[in-house]
Structure formats: structure tokens, C-alpha cells
Amino acid sequence: MPGEADFVCLRCGAHFKMPYEESEGPKERACPECKSNSVRRVKEKK
């Protein structure tokens, strides 16, 4: 069952949540604001 993770767009700076599962590996995602594919997951601080 996939969970959600926080993502940030490196182009426009938008922060958003998307479905994410640790086992799925790298996957191309698009920013919902500017449609850029320069999206990175924000890792949780422990």
C-alpha cells in the first residue's frame, strides 16, 4: 500500500505531496504547478 511523501520542485519551488513507495525506486514525476520534471523528494528528518 503506497504512502505519501513530500516533494519540492527545483524550478518553481512548489511543495506538494504525491504517492510514494520506498521500493518503487527512481520515477519521473512532474510538478503540478509548472509541469517541470525537476522534482525531488524531501526526506524526513529523524
**pLDDT single digits (tens) 2-40:** 689 999 999 999 999 999 988 877 789 999 999 999 999
For residue 46, pLDDT beyond 80: no
Question: Which grid coordinates are listed for 22?
Answer: 520506498
Q: What is the pLDDT, as a whole number, of residue 23?
A: 83
Q: How many CA atoms lie within 13 A of 31 on its CB side?
A: 16
Q: What is the DSSP string of 3-45?
A: EEEEEEETTT--EEEEEE-GGG-------TTT--S-EEE-PPP
For the chain, which residues make up each domain, given as ranges? 3-41
Q: What is the pLDDT, as a whole number, of residue 26?
A: 79
Measured between alpha carbons, how far is residue 28 from residues 39, 41, 46 in Å? Answer: 8, 11, 26
This prediction's pTM = 0.81
Confidence class for position 1, pLDDT limits 50, 70, 90: low
Q: What is the pLDDT, as a whole number, of residue 13?
A: 97
Per the CB < 8 A criterion, the answer to whether 37 and 12 are in contact is no
